[in-house]
Amino acid sequence: MLYLSTRGHPDRKRFCEILLEGLAPDGGLYLPESYPRVDAAMLAKWRGLPYADLAFEILSLYIDDIPAEDLRAICRKTYTAEVFGTREIAPLRKLEEGVFLEALSNGPTLAFKDMAMQLLGNLFEYELGRRGEELNILGATSGDTGSAAEYAMRGKKGVRVFMTSPHGRMSPFQQAQMFSLQDANIHNLAIEGVFDDCQDIVKAVSNDLAFKRKHRIGTVNSINWARLVAQVVYYFAGYFQATSANDRQVSFAVPSGNFGNICAGHVARMMGLPVARLVLATNENDVLDEFFRTGIYRVRGSKDTYETSSPSMDISKASNFERFVFDLVGRDGAKLRYLFAEELVAKGRFDLSGDIARAREQYGFVSGKSTHADRLATIRDTHARFGTVIDTHTADGLKVARAHVQAGIPMIVLETALPIKFAATIVEALGHEPERPAKFAGIEGLPKRVTVLPADAAQVKQFIAAHVS
Ligand SMILES: *Cc1c(COP(=O)(O)O)cnc(C)c1O
């Protein structure tokens, strides 16, 4: 399996090469040359496999430069009941007739990003060990990504993490999750500024190519193909749990921000998983809902990006979206380069209204938007009717899902976080704190390991240089 860039660069690469890279050299994103197709015999064989073995079967279609036995061992080491809380790893539970929740948030940091990041940690350790190399991961987080990365990389040989976050702006629970880690290879940098300042610092450091090379700086952001392909697995796992035979269809509803999660659903569907609809849910930051309704993609500036009660979806520009557009316009790299490197840069928007009917008909995409009032109402209603407390992002997904349910087709809503991560909104909706998993009892009181720095790339570089050997 070879990988190409969405922007038409002539190079083709293998999995382990793109594993440790971010963007392609022309600024595009990597995708496989073609999607492997699953047939009825494969689906029949996969139904009933343990999650780790299902992951191996799917990943091995995309990864041919890791020996099969090693890849299987990596999957089995990653997807364990100890790490993910249940034997199913991504268990499905029925909410009402035809509507299910698929739990993706029982990993170490209680958000779905663990599903992919835990695998990435093991793949990084494996590949760096094989090459005898080291990698220093520099990132910016407003919460979920940073903690998922730290819990995936803690104690891993050959990897260090330098994670910037806006000082004092994450929820107390998120701060405690990250800052209580005492592993020597994890460095928390609280930046005196906002999330954008953290991102600017990461960009500034990454643009210093000499520094980047000398200190082997890398990233783990959501455009990494390995993260995306890991997420494909739970679409299959959800399908098998919701259906009794492989001639049935299901739909998925996905709380979306950077388009990483639902892009994995698109890949699963392209592989031949019988998916009727992919329902994309946004919050008040509705860039993607606007696109799927109108065909116009209009990115927003940071002052037009609202701070909402589903903060992990507060995005103004969806970093993985380019992958879907590539398929939508017939895999035309020159067109993609024009849309993303010229139109979007010059005008902040592009218009694919001529193609948008196909996004629905050929690719199954529909969308909707959910507001703070919708979240509160959905959390209250779900609690009252089913005795289940859901998080704010999942509430956006459920709200939008209900508008797109079709008779006879199970609708699977992806549960992307546990409510404890966004406790303040749960208290606002229900008047009481959500349940806290026992392993997180009292974490706010643990000693914290964090360095506060000004919003200054030079000082962050100094810190990294002093801690890399
Ligand atoms: C990251 C995140 C999302 C958005 O996922 P994307 O892949 O960026 O679309 C939704 N919900 C939660 C809880 C998240 O952490």
CA of 469 to the centre of ligand 1 (A): 34
Q: Determine, yes or no, domain membership for 252.
A: yes
Q: Determine, yes or no, domain membership for 439.
A: no
Task: Check whether 302 has a pLDDT greater than 90.
Answer: no
Can you give the pLDDT at residue 69? 98
**Mind listing the pLDDT tens digit for each residue in 212-235?**
999 999 888 888 999 999 999 999
Task: Check whether 350 has a pLDDT greater than 80.
Answer: yes
Q: Which of 13, 77, 94, 113 is catalytic?
A: 113
CA of 416 to the centre of ligand 1 (A): 7
Per the annotation, the verdict on 113 as an active-site residue is yes
Task: Measure Cα distances from 274 to 6, 39, 249, 277 in Å.
Answer: 25, 11, 5, 9
Task: Check whether 70 has a pLDDT greater than 80.
Answer: yes
CA of 66 to the centre of ligand 1 (A): 29
Can you give the pLDDT at residue 199? 86
Q: Determine, yes or no, domain membership for 330.
A: yes
For the ranges 276-280, 288-292, 419-423, the lowest mean pLDDT is seen at 419-423
Same domain, 232 and 205: no
Same domain, 98 and 116: no
Same domain, 200 and 245: no
Can you give the pLDDT at residue 162? 97
Task: Check whether 297 has a pLDDT greater than 80.
Answer: yes
Please state, in angstroms and rounded to a whole number, the distance separating the CA atoms of residues 242 and 54: 16
Same domain, 185 and 256: no
Q: Determine, yes or no, domain membership for 438.
A: no
Same domain, 134 and 249: no
Can you give the pLDDT at residue 173? 87
- When pLDDT is averaged across residues 373-398 and rounded to a whole number, the result is 97
Can you give the pLDDT at residue 323? 97
DSSP secondary structure letters along 439-463 = GGTTGGGS----EEEES-HHHHHHH
Q: Of 82, 89, 88, whose CA–CA distance to 115 is shortest?
A: 89
Q: Determine, yes or no, domain membership for 67.
A: yes
Same domain, 138 and 236: no
Q: Determine, yes or no, domain membership for 313.
A: yes
Average pLDDT, the chain: 95
Closest residue by Cα to atom 2, ligand 1, is: 312
**Mind listing the pLDDT tens digit for each residue in 447-460?**
999 999 999 999 99
How far from the centroid of its chain's Cα atoms is residue 106's Cα? 15
Can you give the pLDDT at residue 331? 97
Same domain, 160 and 267: no
Q: What is the CATH number of the domain that holds 158?
A: 3.40.50.1100
Which residues line ligand 1 at a C-beta cut-off of 6 Å?
A: 111, 113, 144, 222, 255-261, 312-313, 393, 416-417
Can you give the pLDDT at residue 315? 86
**Mind listing the pLDDT tens digit for each residue in 309-323?**
999 998 888 989 999
Same domain, 195 and 103: no
Same domain, 160 and 210: yes
Same domain, 183 and 268: no
Can you give the pLDDT at residue 220? 84
Backbone angles phi, psi at 31, to 5 degrees: -140, 155
Domain that holds residue 54: 3-84+111-224+446-466
Please state, in angstroms and rounded to a whole number, the distance separating the CA atoms of residues 77 and 83: 10
Strands 30-32, 3-5: pairing is antiparallel
Task: Check whether 279 has a pLDDT greater than 90.
Answer: yes
CA of 256 to the centre of ligand 1 (A): 6
Can you give the pLDDT at residue 93? 96
Q: Determine, yes or no, domain membership for 441.
A: no
Same domain, 201 and 246: no
Q: Determine, yes or no, domain membership for 291.
A: yes
Same domain, 77 and 9: yes
Closest residue by Cα to atom 8, ligand 1, is: 258
**Mind listing the pLDDT tens digit for each residue in 230-274?**
999 999 999 999 999 998 999 999 999 999 999 999 999 999 999
Upper half-sphere CA count for residue 83 (Cβ side, 13 Å): 20
- When pLDDT is averaged across residues 138-166 and rounded to a whole number, the result is 93
**Mind listing the pLDDT tens digit for each residue in 182-213?**
999 999 999 998 888 898 899 899 889 899 99
Please give the tally of structural domains in the chain: 2
